[in-house]
Amino acid sequence: MAVLKDIFARSLIVKNKEWVALLLSLLLSAAVWSIHNLSLKYSVVLAVPVLAECDGLDGFATQASEVSVVTAKCRATGFDILSDRRYDSGNPCRVRFSREHLHAYEGGAFYITGEEIANYTHAIFGESAGMENFIGDTLFFHFPRRDCKKVPVVLKANISLAPQYVISDSIELTPDSVLVYADPARLERIGAVETRMLITQPLSSEKRGILKLRVPSATRLSQQQITYRIPVHRCVEKIFYLPVRLENVPKGRNYLPSVKEVRLTANCVFPLEEGVEKELSVIVDAQQLLKEPGATAVLRLNCQPDWLLDYRITPLTVTLSE
């Protein structure tokens, strides 16, 4: 009897092992089948909630005020369809659209055509998805209006120059003004937008570059950065002695300036051609000197050629004698 019990127990153990092996085989087969089928691409209708974003909509916010649903017939893998959260209506997909694809309609509404939507297939439906056709002719987005104000850009810089080098002209900023979008109360307090600080090594040649702008809090700018150009030339200091010439002298009167010749200390572009100073003269308006006895007038150059970077006239003022 004991022998029979032992044989029966052994047979149960064998059968249990066979059942376990069978179950494991079935589970493995199901997993392989599922993986195979989920890796295949299916043609399905997908609806994705999209929150549109766009820079460059002058007078409007960069983000739409409400979610729009993009519906299209697509080919996508089963994995993507099951795992991608972009198909969840509670988690809209943020998509940044190009300004050229958004067309103004009315009342803050902008639309994009089905043909243009195809440019954003991967951003909307996933990297492996392919859109077969867009369901509908157009898709509308609504962007809230924003007040704006055009303000100048102010360069914040600490510019160092090598010895005998000067900034030969105005520093160029492109663009030199930007649009600021904000609520009216905040816009009233904004008169300009500053750049990030520019610190240079001693310059001995022209410098170009890009600078980011400081964005005031709770605002949006039409540009995030600007380009700049700092014109730098080597200079040489020259001293010229120039005659003083009167202008607007009344007919029949013979007036003389108190100074017939002045000293011009000039910073000039290097190298400088000989004799270029011959085109220069110092002039004074006689009418300013005739306003009252002993009046003085400021001397000025008749022109400032390109080779003359800056200058100083000594003496700077004269009186009139007859």
**Arithmetic mean of pLDDT, 243-272:** 82
Whole-number pLDDT of residue 86:
53
Query: Between 62 and 231, whose confidence is greater?
Result: 231
3-state secondary structure 158-224: ECCECCCEEECCCCEEECCEEEEEECHHHHHCCCCEEECCEECCCECCCEEEEEEECCCCCCEECCC
Q: Using one digit for the tens of pLDDT, what is the confidence trace for 130-144?
A: 777 788 778 899 888
Query: Between 301 and 37, whose confidence is greater?
Result: 301
3-state secondary structure of 10: helix
pLDDT at 81 over 80: no
Q: What is the DSSP string of 76-127?
A: EEHHHHHH-GGG-TTSPEEEEPPGGG-EE-STTEEEEEHHHHGGGHHHHH-T
Whole-number pLDDT of residue 10:
54
Query: Between 168 and 225, whose confidence is greater?
Result: 225
Query: Between 320 and 261, whose confidence is greater?
Result: 261
pLDDT at 170 over 60: yes
In order of start, what are the domains of the chain with their CATH numbers?
41-142 (no CATH), 147-230 (2.170.120.40), 235-321 (2.170.120.30)
- Band of residue 25 on the pLDDT scale cut at 50, 70, 90: low
Query: Between 115 and 292, whose confidence is greater?
Result: 115
Q: Which residues contact 110 (CB under 8 A, 6 or more apart)?
A: 54, 57, 102, 103, 104, 140, 141, 142, 143
Phi and psi at residue 87, to the nearest 5°: -85, 0
**Arithmetic mean of pLDDT, 9-16:** 54
- Band of residue 5 on the pLDDT scale cut at 50, 70, 90: low
Contact by Cβ (8 Å): 181, 58: no
Neighbouring C-beta atoms of residue 137, cutoff 10 Å: 9
